[in-house]
Amino acid sequence: MVIGERKPFDEIMRMAEGLKKIMVLGCGGCVTVCLTGGHDEVRVLSSQLRMARDKAGNPIEIIEKTIERQCDPEYVDQVESIVPEVDAVFSMACGAGVQFMAEKYTGKPVYPSLNTTFVGGSKKEGYYVERCQTCGECKLYYTGGICPIARCSKSLLNGPCGGSTKGKCEIDPDVDCAWQLIIDRLKSLGMMDRYEDIMPANDWRTNRDGGPRKMIREDFQR
Amino acid sequence: MSVECKTDSRLEKILRSGQFAVTGECGPPRGADPEVIRKKCGLLKNNADAFNITDNQTSVVRMSSISSSVIMMQEGLEPVMQMVCRDRNRIAIQSDILGGAALGVKNMLCLSGDHQKFGDHPAAKNVFDLDSIQLIHAVRTMRDEGKFMGGDEVKGVPKLFIGAAENPFADPFEIRVPRLAKKVAAGVEFIQTQCIFNLKKFGEWMKGVVDRGLHEKVFVLGGVTPFKSFGMARYMANNVPGMDVPEELLKRMKDTPKEKQAEEGIKIAVETIQQLREMKGISGVHIMAIEWEEKVGEIAQKAGLLPRPTV
């Protein structure tokens, strides 16, 4: 899933400066699962904003709403009647959701309340880790199911570098060395011969380096 | 090992003629004053066969490796132009390879590069379009096949003697020989190792290198760094990733009176070189006297490595 973290409150307050009425819009997708942008978080942020603005003697009116997904026009359409009533929308979705809202409601400022951080999963409740960089050409077959692009700090395809110490990355003793994990895994699978194959220079065209990407299912385009 | 030289590199000539090679190191300044390099060159001249010019080492901005290499050549020394993958994509890398070779550089060292987190610009975007092994392959292909990575013809190939680094002390230990094998398969011709303090572990690695016959395919230069003080030894033991400083060396430095520690550090370096010379498969040493260039000559002298051969 896409992981997001709420922006610092002061930054959200600055974006809301001069606004009298806003909608705080949650998303029922990934950011609900990672506990940063769903129904409950909409309530918390809205309360915080109201309190802070009341305290400053400059109250703000807030409509709270959460839709199924903000990255889908079908659901984005559902707030059509509310958007004209507000000065701006504060989206609690990932960057994709914010932009889908902005694309639909062209005359209305749509502001992000989260920083979209990475594609990953939860190790346990409230603990999220990065696993994929969406490079567009999955290499997990070669690397024992552990991604060097997402998990090696230098994205080395023929690692590990000389900074790997006791299974940890040179940048931080709390970060696992992805190549130590890959080697341990290849060894346990009896596939160490794969280590000696040189991975050629990557074709980054499938990554964002090829420009913004799209995926089209032709059979659905009729 | 082939005795036929592929470049005009003095380092290559010495290694291919079977003579024990010595390389040194010169860190460029954090400013535009060429005199800093000229001064260091004065201290280093004739004390080694070639000298690495670091490429923004530890991710701290310095004068570029290419321009510093040119200044070094003006002083009559032979540079080994280091190039890291951290800061350039394959377009810039190949362009700089051509530029360096056109300016007269004859040796190049292919490195992944330290992570920018360690440097003075931790907010920088890193590149790592290639890794060190892919970089080795790229420059080798440019030189020997006259082809860019994209497949087009190189008109006027870069005649560079191709080196890389290897750290026998990083983990996991068991892949450190296979990793060298990958570099050899990619086309590397000489290797400079990480600073050797743990000779026992280095010997184990070297045995693995010899057992696989890699010493017949690549020249291995053992890395030697003199401690200036106990403080430096302790710092290297505890703060530099992938460094292996055994307890007994730390104790030896600690037990030496402060005013004698520099001398003791040099003594350890000389002893290390002497032991390396006895080791099968070692073709030379790489003396990294970090911001202590004036000591390279003394170390080489005491280790019996001077005068350097003329080729």
* pLDDT tens, residue by residue, B207-237: 999 999 999 999 999 999 999 999 999 999 9
Residues of B in contact with A153 (CB under 8 A): 115, 117
The per-residue pLDDT for A74 is 97
Q: Which residues of B touch A204 (CB under 8 A)?
A: 129
- Is A193 within 8 Å of chain B by CB? no
Distance from CA of A159 to the nearest CA of B (A): 8
CA distance linking residue A88 with residue B282, whole number of Å: 69
Query: Which of the four pLDDT bands, split at 50, 70 and 90, describes residue B119?
Result: very high
Mean pLDDT of B7-14: 98
Nearest CA in chain B to A168: B171
**B16: pLDDT strictly greater than 90:** yes
Of B186, B241, B242, the CB nearest to A198: B186
Interval B193-208: pLDDT, tens? 999 999 999 999 999 9
pLDDT of residue B240: 86
Asked if residue B9 has pLDDT above 90, the reply is yes
- The candidate with the shortest Cα–Cα distance to B269, out of B232, B203, B223, B225, is B225
Largest CA distance in chain A: 69
Q: State the burial class of residue A213 (Cβ atoms within 10 Å of its Cβ: 0-12, 13-18, 19+).
A: exposed
Task: Beginning with the edge strand found earlier in the chain, give each strand of the sheet holding A127-132 in spatial order.
Answer: A2-6, A114-124, A127-132
pLDDT value at A222 more than 90 = no
Between residues 164 and 223 of chain B, which touch chain A (CB distance below 8 Å)? 165-167, 170-172, 174-175, 178-179, 181-182, 185-186, 194
Q: What is the DSSP letter of A47?
A: H
- A139-148 mean pLDDT: 96
The C-alpha atoms of residue A167 and residue B260 are separated, in whole angstroms, by 37
Whether the CB-CB separation of B15 and B219 falls below 8 Å is answered with yes
Cα angle B301, B303, B306 (rounded to 5 degrees) comes to 40
> What CA–CA distance (Å, rounded) separates B154 from B83?
20
Which chain B residues contact residue A202 at CB under 8 A?
A: 129
Strands B190-195 and B219-224 turn out to be parallel
Instruction: Tell whether the model's pLDDT for residue B253 goes beyond 90.
Output: yes
Q: What are the backbone dihedrals phi and psi of residue B284, each rounded to the nearest 5 degrees, phi first?
A: 175, 180
Is B115 in contact with A180 (Cβ distance < 8 A)?
A: no
What percent of chain A has a predicted confidence (pLDDT) above 90?
A: 97
**B184: nearest Cα among A82, A56, A158, A170:** A158
| Coil vs helix vs strand at A112 | strand
Q: Where are the domains of chain B?
A: 10-302
What value does the mean pLDDT take over residues A127-141? Answer: 96
What pLDDT is recorded for position B301? Answer: 97
Write down the pLDDT at residue B181.
Answer: 98
> What are the sequence ranges of the domains in chain A?
2-118, 134-200
Phi, psi of A86 (to 5 degrees): -110, 160
**Residue B16, amino acid:** R
What is the Cα gyration radius of chain B? 18
| Helix H or strand E segment including B224 | strand B219-224
- CATH class assigned to A2-118: alpha beta
Read off the pLDDT of residues A66-118 as tens digits, 9 standing for 90 and up: 999 999 999 999 999 999 999 999 999 999 999 999 999 999 999 999 999 99
Q: What is the ipTM of this complex?
A: 0.93
Distance CA A168, CA B171 (A): 9
Question: Is a pLDDT exceeding 90 seen at residue A35?
Answer: yes
Identify the pLDDT of residue B26: 96
Model pLDDT for residues A148-178, shown as the tens digit of each residue: 999 999 999 999 999 999 999 999 999 999 9
**Mean pLDDT to the nearest integer, A198-212:** 95
Give which of A121, A161, A61, A146 is closest to B126, Cα–Cα: A161
In this structure, the number of other CB atoms found within 10 A of the CB of residue B93 comes to 23
Cα–Cα nearest to B44, from B20, B61, B68, B17: B68
Q: What is the percentage of chain B residues whose pLDDT exceeds 90?
A: 97
Helix residue ranges, H only, A57-119 = 73-76, 95-104
Encode pLDDT of A15-24 as tens digits.
999 999 999 9
What's the average model confidence in pLDDT over B257-270? Answer: 97
Residue percentage of chain A with pLDDT more than 70 = 100
Mean predicted confidence (pLDDT) in B62-91: 98
Confidence category of residue A192, pLDDT binned at 50, 70, 90: very high
- Mean residue pLDDT of chain B comes to 97
Contact (Cβ atoms closer than 8 angstroms) between residue B48 and residue B306: no
**Interchain CB contact of B6 with A (< 8 Å):** no
Mean pLDDT of chain A: 96
Question: Is A160 in contact with B172 (Cβ distance < 8 A)?
Answer: yes
At the second CATH level, the architecture of B10-302 is Alpha-Beta Barrel (3.20)
Q: B118: which 2 tokens?
A: 């360690």
- The reported pLDDT for the residue numbered B1 is 83
pLDDT for B169-191, tens place per residue? 999 999 999 999 999 999 999 99
